[in-house]
Amino acid sequence: MSAEPINLDSWRDLTAAQQPEWPDRDELKRVVGKLAAAPPLVFAGECDQLKSELAAVVRGEAFVLQGGDCAETFSGADADAVRNKIKTLLQMAIVLTYAGSVPVVKIGRMAGQFAKPRSSSTETRDGVALPAYRGDMVNGFEFTPEARRPDPERLLRAYHSAAVTLNLARAFTKGGYADLRQVHTWNRDFVAESPAGRRYEQLAREIDQALAFMHACGANPSEFHSVEFYSSHEALILDYDRALTRIDSRTGLPYDVSAHMVWIGERTRQLDGAHVDFFSKIRNPIGVKLGPTTSADDALALVRKLNPDNEPGRLTFITRMGASKIRDVLPDLVEKVTAGGAQVAWICDPMHGNTFEAPSGHKTRRLDDVLDEVAGFFEVHRALGTHPGGIHIEFTGDDVTECVGGGQPIGEGDLSLRYETACDPRLNRSQSLDLAFRVSELYRST
Ligand code: PEP
Ligand code: CO
């Protein structure tokens, strides 16, 4: 039990970047009261379990696969879309586990990723300025004054959509669908059309043989029947995550029970800001995004504030430098943080430093840049003798055309065919598998 009561509201006296201007504060108060009385979406013990798996990543014994939409939408909380995302994540995890020979910690950017930081608080189209879209948790995507008005009721809808998504994710990962004997089933609708699908099929055949061999030897371990899957999101809208913070009855300590893991984005990681203060109070495993301008002193100060006891698994640094910068800026950061004795997991977000606008006006990313940033991440960590601990990606299980390149190539002219993201461009299923195969090669080539 902690000796002194922890003040979970001290962030309210600090500057909180990227918060919506709610037009109706009374309505906000009413909604937050409802959320504060709502059942938890995850349990503190599950958060601790993830923390211990992330501690294995810190020790160099496991690899994180974290991914999902840039921005989830309420309409996306549907069985087909969630199944396709889980299926793709499972396929990627299998590739990494089998071809990379490493245990994979599976974390969805799912069941809560409903809020987005924006570079400008307004969006202007044809001379009309409206509040920027900040994610379904805050306002609507449609460019009308009604849709763009921040509506607190959306915080409740976010909670319910997260509950539905998490329920589906738990069912898909625990109810037999994720059984290793299903490795072919996940690929069935995919195999013929794509090189990555065919390569996966070959690997699935090898896994079948290995399973048959183990079965013949009398082994049928329960670990093969289901997988552990965790949820995560950027805890951006502090009223939401604060309202879903509960005191764990076992330990007397606070946990944000809206997700297993939460992270602080690149735009809200100010040391004296509200987000860092709030995160310092909760006991979940947490992440912080670090962009190319992060100094080693910044990172070390974050370590002291967010993980003063240096608990392995508590803090993950998610670096997002850009393919052209990672080899220059990452070494100093990793070297100094490591020399400072900090126990952190390092994972690579190869998406957010590699976004550009195509001539058609679509925000996009090149798969080649994504792969190059991941290669740079491995090179830097290998050279320093530190552990390249995982990847954090934006992907979807559907065959969208949002990023260019890949084994089933998408050109800049194809982007408009199926460009569906509510925010940043995501890898489609084939591109995600291409990435998983590349990462498994990098992992093995030490
Ligand atoms: C994101 O993860 O969608 C995001 C906005 O990233 P970052 O905070 O790294 O810019
Ligand atoms: Co994004």
Scanning 59-123, the segments in alpha helix (DSSP H) are 79-99
The pick from 18, 66, 69, 70 for probing ligand 1's pocket by mutation, whose C-beta has the most ligand atoms within 8 angstroms, reads: 70
pLDDT score, position 445: 85
289 lines ligand 1 (CB under 6 A): yes
| Structure-token pair, residue 213 | 């061999």
Residue 2 included in any domain:
no
Separation between Cα atoms, residue 300 and residue 132, nearest integer Å: 33
The residue ranges of the chain whose pLDDT is under 70 are: 1-3, 191-192, 446
Closest-lying ligand to the alpha carbon of 113?
Answer: 1
Separation between Cα atoms, residue 202 and residue 431, nearest integer Å: 18
Q: Report the nearest-CA residue for atom 9 of ligand 1.
A: 266
pTM: 0.97
The enclosing H or E element of 390 equals strand 390-394
Q: What burial class does residue 244 get, using C-beta atoms within 10 Å of its C-beta: 0-12 exposed, 13-18 middle, 19+ buried?
A: buried
pLDDT score, position 339: 98
Q: Which atom of ligand 1 is nearest to the CA of 70?
A: 3
Separation between Cα atoms, residue 3 and residue 247, nearest integer Å: 14
pLDDT score, position 305: 98
Q: Which atom of ligand 1 is nearest to the CA of 265?
A: 8
Sequence-ordered list of residues with C-beta below 8 angstroms from that of 206, at least 6 positions apart, any chain: 98
Residue 186 included in any domain:
no
pLDDT score, position 36: 98
Closest-lying ligand to the alpha carbon of 317?
Answer: 1
Query: Does the annotation place 30 within a ligand binding site?
Result: no
Residue 190 included in any domain:
no
Residue appearing with tokens 């890898």: 427
| Structure-token pair, residue 197 | 């699908």
pLDDT score, position 223: 81
| Structure-token pair, residue 380 | 């830097």
Residue 415 included in any domain:
yes
The pick from 109, 136, 349, 423 for probing ligand 1's pocket by mutation, whose C-beta has the most ligand atoms within 8 angstroms, reads: 349
Residue 257 included in any domain:
yes
Separation between Cα atoms, residue 353 and residue 373, nearest integer Å: 9
265 Cα–ligand 2 center, Å = 10
Residue 205 included in any domain:
no
- CATH code, 327: 3.20.20.70
Separation between Cα atoms, residue 281 and residue 242, nearest integer Å: 10
211, 283, 337, 399, 442 from 203: Cα distances, Å: 12, 39, 38, 22, 17
Separation between Cα atoms, residue 44 and residue 40, nearest integer Å: 9
224 Cα–ligand 2 center, Å = 33
| Structure-token pair, residue 174 | 């625990």
Q: Which atom of ligand 1 is nearest to the CA of 268?
A: 8
302 lines ligand 1 (CB under 6 A): no
Q: Which is it for strands 254-256 and 245-247: parallel, antiparallel or unpaired? A: antiparallel
- Helix or strand or coil: residue 203? helix
Task: Provide the domain count of the chain.
Answer: 1
Q: Residue type for 263, please?
A: W
Range of the domain at 433: 10-178+226-444
Query: Does the annotation place 59 within a ligand binding site?
Result: no
Residue 218 included in any domain:
no
The pick from 107, 268, 320, 347 for probing ligand 1's pocket by mutation, whose C-beta has the most ligand atoms within 8 angstroms, reads: 320
End-to-end CA separation in angstroms for the chain: 44
Q: What long-range pairs does 36-40 form, CB within 8 A, spacing at least 24?
A: 36/243, 36/244, 38/159, 38/244, 40/244, 40/246, 40/257
Task: Name the β-bridge partners of 230.
Answer: 107
Residue 256 included in any domain:
yes
Reported in sequence order, the residue ranges of 150-291 that DSSP labels E, i.e. its strands, are 230-234, 245-247, 254-256, 261-264, 286-290
pLDDT tens, 160-217? 999 999 999 999 999 988 998 888 888 877 766 788 888 898 998 999 899 999 989 9
Separation between Cα atoms, residue 171 and residue 226, nearest integer Å: 10
**Nearest Cα to Cα of residue 411 among 350, 368, 371:** 368
352 lines ligand 1 (CB under 6 A): yes
Q: Is the dihedral of CA 45, 50, 51, 55 positive or negative?
A: positive
Separation between Cα atoms, residue 266 and residue 244, nearest integer Å: 23
40 lines ligand 1 (CB under 6 A): no
**Nearest Cα to Cα of residue 49 among 110, 105, 108:** 105
Separation between Cα atoms, residue 340 and residue 334, nearest integer Å: 10
Separation between Cα atoms, residue 378 and residue 390, nearest integer Å: 10
Q: Report the nearest-CA residue for atom 4 of ligand 1.
A: 265
The pick from 72, 133, 134, 234 for probing ligand 1's pocket by mutation, whose C-beta has the most ligand atoms within 8 angstroms, reads: 234
Contact 98, 185 (CB under 8 A): no
